[in-house]
A and B are shown apart, each in its own frame.
Chain A
Amino acid sequence: MKAVSIRLENVSKTFIHRIKGKVSAVDQVSLQVEPGEFLTLLGPSGCGKTTTLRMIAGFERPDRGRVFIGDEDVTDLMANQRNIGFVFQNYALFPHLSVFENVAYGLRVKGMQRAEIEKAVNDVLALVGLKGYEHQFPHQLSGGEQQRVALARAVVIQPRVLLFDEPLSNLDAKLRVYMRSEIRRLQKTLSITTVYVTHDQEEAMAVSDHIAVMNVGKITQIGTAEELYTEPETTFVAQFIGKINILPAEVREVTDLQVTVSIFNRDFRISKSAVPLALGQNIKIFIRPESIELTKGIKEGQLKGLIVEKTFLGEKADYQVEVDGHSLNATSYDPFLHETFALNQEVGIILNEQAIQILKE
């Protein structure tokens, strides 16, 4: 089956909450998912990502705006008329049906022949690695196995699009990492257009072609994981994806390509951004912890600070350093090779110029 696109045009949805009254869950969201693409809606809880997904699925009807799957306007279609595969956070397996019957459910609804159903179900169970589990019941399965049944049940009907609502949040950390690569593998094998909802930025970065970061009912930025990490357009995105240090700076010099800014009374030449800057303007810059290097020896005039907290994490060590009344987070990778530092030790600090970026708001 040919992969199709998904398109949202100015979709809005408000709910009436018992305590808070009218709540705008999704506010004029427009979005295009290309055929075969894996797009993740990422954001904190309550940002509207699940509501957006449920509107694509047809469980919620948008108050305004249209939803398209392929070229078809599906806004007024019910969920059962849209031909979608949905994987729920709690899996929503039918507790009274066996694994086989759970997976076969959608095919039986379609009125498929018995032999065809058997073949399709067996094929998909093999695909998700559940051969031999046909006669088990959901309560006899582990969380990871239930997850696979939910996955098999969603894909066996050959849906036009696959929709995931935080599918891994009930699994333990190791299994989560394993299952997310399984999901990605399956999606690539079947090349189904996929929308995936999560609040876990690492998960989003691991599985997606593109990530749409959402906040208070709006999409803040869409891009690849790399784009979002290296060129965040808002403070929210910068803070939500990875960790950052935000520092005050003053504009000293502006040339065609570069800007010189003063941080902690030291000049740094950084790449110019789209934001118009005036000489002497007070701005905010950010730098990620891994772009800050700590040194034992302190050269004359070098920026220096005091280690106030140290967290050893195996492959890396996180430090909190006090500099001129500011607190900086620095990460040092491969602590075996590199220098390690003790609490209350005075260290030299090197800010990687290329990694310093100007915050746009």
Chain B
Amino acid sequence: MPASTVKLNPSDRFQKLLKDPVLLFCVILLWCFLFLFILLPLAQLFIKTFEEGGHFSFKNVISTLGDPNQRQALWNSLILGSLVGLCGTVLGFLFAFTAVRANLSKAWALFLDAAIILPLISPPFTTAIAMIFSFGPRGLITYDLLGIKGFTIYGLHSTLFSETITFFPIAYLTLKAIIAGIDPNVEDMAFSLGSSRWRVFRTVTLPLTVPGLANSFLLLFAASLADFATPLILAGNSFPVLPTQAYLQITGLFDLKGGAVLSFVLLAPAFLVFVLQRYWVSRKYYVTITGKAGAKTQIKSVPFWARYLLLGLCLFISAFILYFYVLLFYASIVRAFGANFQLTWIHYRVIFTEGLKAIRDTLVIAGVGMPIGGIYAVTLGYLVSKKTFPSRQAMEIVSMINYSLPGTIVGIAYLLFFNDPPIMLTGTAIIIIACYVFRYGPTGIRTTVAILQQIDPSIEEASFSLGAGSGTTFRRITMPLILPAFFAGLGVVFIRSMTAISATIFLISINWTLITVRILEKMTELELGVAAAFSILVVVIVFIVITAISLFLRLFRQPGAPEMANILGG
């Protein structure tokens, strides 16, 4: 009888926990952290939102929603999120279907993957800056190429375009895994029953991907809802959205309460997406893998002409993405893009002198957060999937909260909670590191859980039967097998420490600042060349770290170990 069907009753579990001091210590310690860095800040946000003169009240929420401007911001956020979800999913599906089902050669597949990964590892303003260089009033395409004068770049259209380009790789990674999971034999079966290719696509392939499409829509909706950087640059005054409104409320008007209420309003749709994803979409997945894998078959989903059409479309979009990055690089090495195209290193000199503190701070924060995030992820992931103790499930869910919430909410919650005694962390590096660890550690947790689920319990039993104790078994068998998850945890925390802004913009101080925040400042000061140089630097650093981690992953490659790209998408 498989061990998974065996259940201990709660008192047994509690007894067991008391007998295992190491486990007990880990569980208590983790809960302390989860309370301190997830639950209590969030509770503080609730209190701030619903407290009026010492009483519980809906007054704050009602007055915020009564303000037509804020109502408009909520409405705009929802519209933008839906449209990004829709467009990004379509684009992601196009790429995923082409990559998996169009019989691409290895080189083409690699090229598509490479072009798609760029937006994932870039700092948040990259596309926005490139958009301004291309479509702004003196933009390369609008002004120089098409000769349009006075083109308005600010508004829904450009925010949507920029967010779609930034976030569709998430849809691509989600859908690619799903389409690749559909056994081509199932399609063969439909062919053998007399279906045409188009009919097979319409009646077999597409329906099987529907849960994936829904999931991708929700992921993109959430990403857009949480995105703070793109609307800040591109949305302009005519198209306010919630995260930027909350930011302006706090930094512009010093109205902490107003910011808290706005971010709480943002919480509702974010929470809805979280619930839908966890309890609805995840149950709709079809399992097409049954028993032994069928014979490998030549994929014949698309006719000859369609293959080139699909590839052509993908190449056009990939080329567009690459164009953005080339443009960004070019802008970083000319004196003033749009006016003076003289080559110069001056912007790089600026970032390595005046901007050096931000670079150093960011690297220190990322470097310290990285191992902590990795250890946190592997420990928590191991405990929730291999050990039985009271509150196990609650621990897993709580650990995912900061990851699922928009960064603006997390940032404001931290700001509210750590600003006053008992625990004052505002102005320290700890608050930024903690924010990254608990916000991006969950990727590592999920990877750990996924890997551990794939390790058959009999592997550990085999080690016991050969005379090894549980310590040796963990050290020699389990630990090496979850090493990839550890690296994944490290990688994601590092990359996000380099590129994230939405939560930490509320947490920076004179003592500790971040590159991404400096990019924003340079953009508002219209020093676009410096902003571009900073962005290029971040892309290069992240690229080097990703390559290093991928090499490590390949070195310790286990069955079921994830690719770096997949980790980023999750």
Contact = CB atoms under 8 A, between A and B. Distances in A.
A80 B465 CA distance: 5
A79 B464 contact: yes
A153 B466 contact: yes
A78 interface: yes
A78 B459 CA distance: 16
Nearest to B477: A94
Contact of B467 (A96, A110, A139): A110
Interface string A58-101: 11000000000000000000111101111011101111100000
B462 A94 contact: yes
Given A90-B458, A96-B480, A109 B5 contact: no
Given A92-B456, A95-B559, A15 B1 contact: yes
A93 B456 CA distance: 10
A106 interface: yes
Contacts of A25: 1
A122 interface: no
Contacts of A95: 459, 481, 558-559
B570 to A, nearest CB: 23
Contact of A83 (B5, B6, B461, B467): B467
Nearest to A57: B465
B556 interface: yes
Contacts of A110: 467
Interface in B462-520: 462-469, 472, 476-477, 480-481
A96 B481 contact: yes
A106 B5 contact: no
The secondary structure that dominates the B interface is: helix
A249 interface: no
A148 B225 CA distance: 55
B106 interface: no
Interface in B419-450: none
Nearest to A159: B465
B7 interface: yes
A17 B5 contact: yes
Contacts of B462: 86, 88, 92-94, 153
Interface in A133-184: 139, 153-154, 157
B558 A79 contact: no
A15 B6 contact: yes
B467 A85 contact: no
Nearest to B473: A80
A59 B5 contact: no
A106 B466 contact: yes
A51 B1 contact: yes
B454 to A, nearest CB: 10
A341 interface: no
A85 B465 contact: yes
A16 B456 CA distance: 21
A152 to B, nearest CB: 12
A50 interface: yes
A77 to B, nearest CB: 11
A105 interface: yes
A16 B465 contact: no
Contact of B461 (A15, A23, A79, A96): A79
A23 B465 CA distance: 26
B476 A92 contact: no
Contacts of A2: none
Interface in A316-349: none
A90 B455 CA distance: 12
Contacts, number: 82
Given A88-B461, A95-B481, A16 B466 contact: no
Contact of A86 (B7, B456, B465, B558): B465
Contacts of B466: 80, 105-106, 109, 153-154, 157
The secondary structure that dominates the A interface is: mixed
A119 interface: no
A94 B473 CA distance: 11
Nearest to B460: A92
Contact of A18 (B7, B456, B463, B468): B7
A16 B1 contact: no
A18 B459 CA distance: 24
A100 to B, nearest CB: 15
B559 A139 contact: yes
Contacts of A105: 463, 466, 468, 476
Contacts of B5: 15, 17-18
A18 B461 CA distance: 23
Contacts of B481: 95-96
A109 B556 contact: no
Interface in A7-39: 15-18, 23, 25
Interface in B1-35: 1, 5-7
Contacts of A51: 1
Nearest to A108: B476
A80 B469 contact: yes
Interface in B162-206: none
Contacts of B559: 95, 139
A50 B1 contact: yes
A25 to B, nearest CB: 6
A148 to B, nearest CB: 15
Contacts of A81: 467
B468 to A, nearest CB: 5
Q: Which of A85, A109, A153, A157 counts the most chain B CB atoms within 10 A?
A: A109
A94 B472 contact: no
A106 B467 CA distance: 6
Contacts of A23: 1
Contacts of A58: 464-465
A59 B477 contact: no
Q: Which of B461, B469, B472, B480 counts the most chain A CB atoms within 10 A?
A: B461
Contacts of B480: 96
Contacts of B7: 16, 18
A154 B461 CA distance: 12
A311 B164 CA distance: 64
Nearest to B7: A16
B458 A16 contact: no
Interface in B514-570: 556, 558-559
A157 B456 CA distance: 23
A86 to B, nearest CB: 4
B467 A109 contact: yes
A159 B467 CA distance: 10
A316 to B, nearest CB: 29
A80 B466 CA distance: 6
Contacts of B556: 96
A55 B330 CA distance: 70
Contacts of A154: 465-466
A139 B560 CA distance: 12
A110 B469 CA distance: 11
Nearest to B465: A86
B280 to A, nearest CB: 23
B510 to A, nearest CB: 48
Given A78-B469, A95-B558, A153-B462, 14 more contacts: A58-B464, A58-B465, A80-B466, A80-B468, A88-B462, A92-B458, A93-B459, A95-B481, A95-B559, A96-B481, A105-B463, A105-B466, A109-B472, A154-B465
Interface of A: 15-18, 23, 25, 50-51, 57-59, 78-81, 83-86, 88-90, 92-96, 105-106, 109-110, 139, 153-154, 157
Smallest CB-CB A-B distances: 8 pairs: A106-B466, A86-B465, A92-B458, A92-B462, A79-B464, A109-B468, A88-B458, A80-B464
26 contacts: A15-B5, A17-B1, A17-B5, A18-B5, A25-B1, A51-B1, A58-B465, A59-B465, A78-B469, A79-B461, A80-B469, A81-B467, A83-B467, A88-B461, A88-B462, A92-B456, A93-B462, A95-B459, A96-B480, A96-B481, A105-B463, A106-B467, A109-B467, A139-B559, A153-B462, A157-B466
